[in-house]
């Protein structure tokens, strides 16, 4: 097996030589940074050597490209924010419009029916007219008869037993009064709310 000879102390570099080598390497690094890296990468040319070597031109191009890329990024970000804001605003307006359209009723009445009590409300309509309605029952259940009468004619549109609510439309079969008769056959008091809109002359208590 071959063993390398251990170098003598005379062959090793002295401290002064190490310091000098380090200083030379540091100075070389600084020189490269100032004359090459700064002009080529950042368009900074304190010595003018970068301009001679056309490195400053390269750095200027890179700087311009970076600035343009940043400007494009900011424009895209601003456009996205504006688009998001407009969508939010539009969504609020559309949602409010739908909610308003869905909840606007021309007339509304609320009454309470104790067990065994009854009530009757009618719409005065001409033949072919259409009215929308929504009936809400709170606290109990009711029986109802949705019908019409007038000019010697009568018609039953719908009947319900133990109802807790209903909705739909009435198309008047003839001129006359068209609406509901309710009776509370439950053991609990019921509160009834009726909302109507559409084509009719009057919504009245016919009890």
The reply to whether 82 and 125 lie within a common domain is: no
**Domain boundary pick from 57, 76, 100:** 100
The reply to whether 83 and 161 lie within a common domain is: no
Q: Is the pLDDT assigned to residue 43 strictly greater than 60?
A: yes
**Higher model confidence: residue 41 or residue 176?**
176
pLDDT (tens digit per residue) in 117-147: 999 999 999 999 999 999 999 999 999 999 9
The reply to whether 114 and 192 lie within a common domain is: yes
**Domain coverage including residue 27:** 15-100
- Among candidate residues 195, 181, 180, the one with its CA nearest the CA of residue 134: 195
Residue 6 lies inside a defined structural domain of this protein:
no
Structural contact between residues 153 and 175, judged by C-beta atoms closer than 8 angstroms:
no
Residue 7 lies inside a defined structural domain of this protein:
no
The reply to whether 128 and 164 lie within a common domain is: yes
The reply to whether 66 and 120 lie within a common domain is: no
The reply to whether 95 and 118 lie within a common domain is: no
Residue 177 maps to which CATH number?
Answer: 2.60.120.680
Residue 81 lies inside a defined structural domain of this protein:
yes
The reply to whether 93 and 146 lie within a common domain is: no
The reply to whether 112 and 188 lie within a common domain is: yes
CA distance 106 to 180: 17
Q: Work out the number of other CB atoms within 10 angstroms of the CB of residue 56.
A: 20
The reply to whether 122 and 195 lie within a common domain is: yes
The reply to whether 35 and 74 lie within a common domain is: yes
The reply to whether 19 and 94 lie within a common domain is: yes
Residue 49 lies inside a defined structural domain of this protein:
yes
pLDDT (tens digit per residue) in 170-198: 999 999 999 999 999 999 999 999 999 99
**Domain boundary pick from 100, 127, 158:** 100
Q: Work out the number of other CB atoms within 10 angstroms of the CB of residue 200.
A: 22
What is the domain count for the chain?
Answer: 2
Most confident of 13-22, 64-73, 81-90, 171-180: 171-180
The reply to whether 120 and 162 lie within a common domain is: yes
**Domain boundary pick from 84, 100, 116:** 100
């Amino acid at each position: 097996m071959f063993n390398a000879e251990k170098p003598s102390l005379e062959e090793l570099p002295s401290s002064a030589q190490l310091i000098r080598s380090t200083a030379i390497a540091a100075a070389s690094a600084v020189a490269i940074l100032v004359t090459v890296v700064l002009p080529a990468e950042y368009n900074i040319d304190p010595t003018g050597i970068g301009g001679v070597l056309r490195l400053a031109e390269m750095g200027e191009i890179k700087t311009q490209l970076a600035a343009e890329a940043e400007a494009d990024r900011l424009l895209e970000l601003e456009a996205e924010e504006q688009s998001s804001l407009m969508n939010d605003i539009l969504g609020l307006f559309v949602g409010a419009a739908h909610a308003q359209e869905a909840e606007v009723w021309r007339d509304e009445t609320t009454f309470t029916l104790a067990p065994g009590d009854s009530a009757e409300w009618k719409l005065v309509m001409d033949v072919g007219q259409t009215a929308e309605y929504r009936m809400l029952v709170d606290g109990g259940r009711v029986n109802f008869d949705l019908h019409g009468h007038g000019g010697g004619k009568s018609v039953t549109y719908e009947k319900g037993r133990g109802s807790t609510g209903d909705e739909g439309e009435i198309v008047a079969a003839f001129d006359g009064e068209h609406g509901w008769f309710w009776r509370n056959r439950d053991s609990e008091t019921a509160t009834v709310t009726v909302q109507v809109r559409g084509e009719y002359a009057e919504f009245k208590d016919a009890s």
